[in-house]
Amino acid sequence: MSSSDGGIKTAISLKSARFADGEYWVRLVMFACASVAIFAILLIFVFVLRESLPAIRQLGVGNLFFSAHYNPQTQNYGMLGFIWGTIFTTFGAMIIGAPLAIGTAVFLDQVAPERISRLVRRGIELLAGIPSVVIGWFGLILLVPFLRAVTGTSGFGVFAAVLVLVVMVLPTITTLSAETLKSLPGELKEASAAMGATRWQTIYKVLLPSAREGLLIATILGMGRAIGETMAVQMVIGNARAGTFSLFGTTSTLTTRIVTDMAEAPSGPPRSALFAMGLVLLLLAMILIVVIRLISRERRPGR
Amino acid sequence: MTAKQWDKVATCVFWALGIIAIAILAFIILEVLGRGLLTALNPKFIFGKPKAMGSGGGIFPMIFSTLYLVVLAIAISLPISIGAAIYMAEYAKKGRINNFIRFCLDSLATLPSIVFGLFGVALFVTAFRWSYCLLAGAFTLAILNLPILLRSTEEAIKLVPDTYREASMSLGASRWTTIRQVVVPSALPGIITATILPIGRIVGESAAIIYTVGVFVRNVPLNPFDTAAPLAGYIWARQAEHGVPDWKTIVNGGAALLLIMVFIIYFLARWAGNRYQRKRLLGAGNK
């Protein structure tokens, strides 16, 4: 669209928006639809907060959020162990998953021939669509027995959860990273090659540094996926009620504890404590989004 | 080592990473289908009723629940998405409110599905006293799917060439008439394509629905206020609680069937997307 077209279009639209009958109401309805998103996030926050208030009130912030002692029989609902479980598994998944995914993205964008690149891309899109129960079941019947045989532990635990999460974050990070790499100007690569740089030198000295923010955002969104993943992790992590520092220890994350206990939690503090875990998850997700916004805002004026 | 040798090593590593990514996919597909395909394609399994005790149960009510849930959730979220997408693409000016709506959409997209599940339990199941039912799950999933549905709908609307709008307006049509009679009809194939991927997500979703819809039913649920048991949630519950002697066969078969369903939806989306794109290109060529 040329700029003069745009000028005419806005002139026409301004006129029609101001004078046409009923246009105001239409606009209002459309706006209402758009604000459903605002309304929804508010409603979710209010309801999850409201349901977690009984636990916060009766147990106190310290006993609920900053204690790792969780045992419904003794009325202890400290969730610190599960917060740690979420952090532990997420970082484990990132340490393996982010290099694998970003490397795959570089492969797709720079190394692979066009046809193979398209094939692998389709495969990764397909992987993104596999339901988490299916991946969890795969982990349960294959990864867990394998780990049991290799390590001599039960096979359930943090490491099995990490491997399952790697599978789940791989498509997210790869797709977004490949998009970022693709959006880099072609001159960057050409200039580097013209200076006599090899492909590898171009990739790690020019392309990866220029794509830094985009790759970071991709990794953070992958983290969001790992923090929120529930069913697949629940099937392989062992669902113990204590936190663990061992890679092969059984434990729970925030999400898996909610799913495991929700069915039998009587109303009052037991159920309310699970909503408080949901509240922590909600805040974690919001923090990630704010961080992403800050990164992309920083990036914009530079370009 | 020289720079050239490093380059060769790096190339090998990148090839290896690409192969690993595909190997993971192939491994999962082969393993899940290998264990469950025979059960999944057995008519007795697909069209049979589940059993609370004893072996030989089928999963027809679960398949039906999944499809019913898809229809309800899309029926709720599509009109809202179209309205919101029209607002974002046609009316919204770049500014604070627009930015805030985007922020909320991004937040919704990152929120773990279990949080949507908790919200569904708190609002629909408990506060509205609906108990576990299809409609509670459908509303929960409608909100969960809003960000991706809205984004792809908006993209479909933005793809309508500006010349269409200008032609309509130059004939004296108001903005709303233009949107209703020109923009939405030309974007419709794109909008329909946009719903396919969210459908795949609804079929695979389990965390948000096990405590809003339910995990076991014996009969086909007909009323939206009936308790139901979508396939993904049922598989999870069966592997967690066992309950019947042949639970492993059921889970294997169910997982394979779920995988097949999701793949069909994916390829449908690809096919529709390609067809739509080709049509658009041809249309532009004819002008």
- Chain A nearest CA to B223, separation (Å): 24
Query: For residue A10, what pLDDT is reported?
Result: 52
pLDDT per residue as tens digits for the range B210-245: 999 999 999 999 999 999 999 999 999 999 988 889
Q: In this structure, are A131 and A256 located in the same domain? A: yes
Distance of CA A134 to the CA centre of its chain: 19
**pLDDT band for position B83 (cuts 50, 70, 90):** very high
Q: In this structure, are A127 and A37 located in the same domain? A: no
As a whole number, mean pLDDT of residues B28-33 equals 95
d(CA A208, CA B256): 39
Crossing angle of helices B113-120 and A269-302, in 10° steps, is 140
Identity (one letter) of the amino acid at B140? T
d(CA B217, CA B194): 31
Which residue on chain B is closest to A139 by alpha carbon? B28
Domain boundaries, position A11: 3-59
* Residue B203 main-chain phi, psi, to 5 deg: -60, -40
10 Å CB burial of residue B176 (0-12, 13-18, 19+) is: buried
Q: In this structure, are A83 and A55 located in the same domain? A: no
**A69 domain residue, yes or no:** no
How many structural domains does chain A have? Answer: 2
- Chain A nearest CA to B54, separation (Å): 22
**A20 domain residue, yes or no:** yes
**A252 domain residue, yes or no:** yes
Kindly report the number of other CB atoms within 10 A of residue A10's CB atom.
11
User: How high is the ipTM of this complex?
Assistant: 0.91
Query: For residue B174, what pLDDT is reported?
Result: 85
**A144 domain residue, yes or no:** yes
pTM score of the predicted model: 0.91
**A194 domain residue, yes or no:** yes
Q: Do B28 and A127 touch (CB under 8 A)?
A: yes
**pLDDT band for position B278 (cuts 50, 70, 90):** confident
As a whole number, mean pLDDT of residues B182-191 equals 89
Closest by alpha carbon to A161, among A82, A257, A90, A258?
A: A90
Q: In this structure, are A254 and A149 located in the same domain? A: yes
Which residues, in sequence order, are bridge partners of residue A76? A71
Give residues 4 to 63 of A whose Cβ lies within 8 Å of B: 5, 8-9, 12-13, 16-17, 20, 22-23, 26-27, 29-38, 40-41, 43-44, 47-48, 50-51
Q: Do B206 and A133 touch (CB under 8 A)?
A: yes
Q: In this structure, are A118 and A181 located in the same domain? A: yes
The 3-state DSSP class for residue B287 equals coil
Q: In this structure, are A94 and A21 located in the same domain? A: no
- Report the CATH number that the domain containing residue A268 is assigned in CATH: 1.10.3720.10
Q: In this structure, are A12 and A158 located in the same domain? A: no
Task: List the single residue in A9, A38, A133 with the smallest CB-CB distance to B235.
Answer: A133
pLDDT along chain A (303 residues), means of 10: 46 49 81 92 96 93 92 91 96 96 95 94 93 95 94 93 96 95 90 90 91 95 95 95 93 96 88 96 95 83 45
Q: Do A129 and B15 touch (CB under 8 A)?
A: no
Query: For residue B56, what pLDDT is reported?
Result: 85
Query: For residue A300, what pLDDT is reported?
Result: 59
The 3-state DSSP class for residue B109 equals helix
Q: Which residue shows structure tokens 């792809």? A: B152
**A68 domain residue, yes or no:** no
**pLDDT band for position B286 (cuts 50, 70, 90):** very low
CA distances (Å), B268 to each of A124, B146, B190, B202, in order? 17, 21, 13, 15
Query: For residue A19, what pLDDT is reported?
Result: 47
**A64 domain residue, yes or no:** no
Q: In this structure, are A261 and A162 located in the same domain? A: yes
**A70 domain residue, yes or no:** no
Q: In this structure, are A247 and A288 located in the same domain? A: yes
Q: In this structure, are A113 and A211 located in the same domain? A: yes
As a whole number, mean pLDDT of residues B246-255 equals 94
Query: For residue B2, what pLDDT is reported?
Result: 86
Q: In this structure, are A51 and A86 located in the same domain? A: no
pLDDT per residue as tens digits for the range B251-276: 999 999 999 999 999 999 888 888 87
Identity (one letter) of the amino acid at B148? I
3-state secondary structure chain A: CCHHHHHHHHHHHHHHHHHCCCHHHHHHHHHHHHHHHHHHHHHHHHHHHHHHHHHHHHHHHHHHHCCCCEEHHHCEECCHHHHHHHHHHHHHHHHHHHHHHHHHHHHHHHHCCHHHHHHHHHHHHHHHHCCHHHHHHHHHHHHHHHHHHHHCCCCCCHHHHHHHHHHHHHHHHHHHHHHHHHHCCHHHHHHHHHCCCCHHHHHHHHHHHHCHHHHHHHHHHHHHHHHHCCHHHHHHCECCCCCCCCCCCCECCHHHHHHHHHCCCCCCHHHHHHHHHHHHHHHHHHHHHHHHHHHHHHHHHHC
Distance of CA A36 to the CA centre of its chain: 22
Q: In this structure, are A47 and A160 located in the same domain? A: no
pLDDT surpasses 50 at B190: yes
**Which is it for the CA torsion B109, B110, B114, B119, positive or negative?**
negative
d(CA B151, CA B148): 5
Question: Please, what are the domains in chain B?
Answer: 57-282 (1.10.3720.10)
The 3-state DSSP class for residue B219 equals coil
d(CA A189, CA A168): 31
